[in-house]
Amino acid sequence: PCSVAASPHGKLPEQSQSEAWMQTTDALAGRSVSAAEVLAFYQQLGVSTDGGLMPHFKSQQHTTNDVVRAALIPATRCDGGGVAYADLIRAERAASSEDLPHRMVTHEWRNLFSHLVAA
């Protein structure tokens, strides 16, 4: 929550907008998942035992949207809401590994999830 009062026009003062922008930018820049973490998540897909996600997963059928809806969102639910998967993973990482990402891989919701993992 922002501790700066809004201006009469419903906007934050110029200085505060810049500070809020930078805080948000820094938080998003640090929200990352390593290639190893993506592979670990992928290995849980299609597994029907405890700890497995989306037991019906088929790599040549299911899209990124399918995996997000059937595996990722349920896996990140907590306390009546949810958390970003990257934030959940970051909480499990060693403190020394919290550096900024070196690469960015983007995705298209309708593409196969296996193609995203391969990228």
Confidence at residue 47, expressed as pLDDT on a 0 to 100 scale:
92
Look up residue 61 and give its amino acid. Q
Residue 101: per-residue pLDDT = 81
pLDDT higher than 90, residue 58: yes
Q: State the DSSP code for 108.
A: -
Burial tier of 93 (Cβ tally within 10 Å: 0-12, 13-18, 19+): exposed
Residue showing tokens 């990722």: 72
Rounded distance between C-alpha atoms, residue 84 and residue 79, angstroms? 13
* Residue among 58, 78, 86, 83 nearest 67 (CA): 58
- Residue 94 is predicted with a pLDDT of 59
**Could you report the per-residue pLDDT of 1-39, keeping only the tens digit for each?**
323 344 444 555 555 678 888 888 888 887 888 899 999
Please tell me the predicted confidence (pLDDT) of residue 4: 35
